[in-house]
Amino acid sequence: MNPDKNTQCLRDPNIEPTDSVLNDSLKDAYPSYLLFLNLLNQIDVDLVWRYYTDGKAWLAKGIYRWTGKKESDKEMSVFWCSIWNGFFKIVIYIPEDKREDILNLQIDDNLKIKINEIKRMGETFRTLPIVLDVYSNEELESMLKIIIYKKGLKK
């Protein structure tokens, strides 16, 4: 079976997302994934993999951890990562009232247009799902700026 690019990978709960498995799925995007991991390390964001039965796939959560004012450990989910045939997808949920802040970041103009058109998630959720498909290093700079911004929203 030759999956097309719109096929989400890592669907088998028994096959963990090892470097080899990720390399096979990401193909030419694998070097960008490795660079992404290095960039996350530089900004103290951990990538934690887990199999989610509701979505029937392995997903990674980007987690930022810090110590709060009362010396308590805190953590924030900064983004979600899924693996697709030939690329990885990052979803960053931003509060709707922060859209202008994101649009004022120095990010790619095409991404700004996309973010400006995003609809919020239903009536009860006041968040915008910013979805970024990463095929190469080109997408990483803008994505990293949004991740750093989101990290700054820690509670």
**The 3-state secondary structure of 51-92, one letter per residue:** EECCCCEEEEEEEEEEECCCCCEEEEEEEEEEEECCEEEEEE
Whether residue 7 is contained in a domain is answered as no
Q: Residue 89 belongs to a domain with what CATH number?
A: 3.90.1150
Which residue range forms the structural domain that includes residue 75?
19-151
Question: Tens digit of pLDDT for each residue in 4-39?
Answer: 668 999 999 999 999 999 999 999 999 999 999 999
pLDDT band at 1 (very low <50, low <70, confident <90, very high): very low
In contact, 40 and 46? CB cutoff 8 Å: yes
Statement: residue 54 has pLDDT above 70: yes
Q: How far is the C-alpha of 120 from the C-alpha of 64, rounded, in Å? A: 24
Domain count of the fold of the chain? 1
Taking the model in full, what pTM does it have? 0.91
Could you report the per-residue pLDDT of 64-114, keeping only the tens digit for each? 999 888 878 899 999 999 999 999 999 999 999 999 999 999 999 999 999
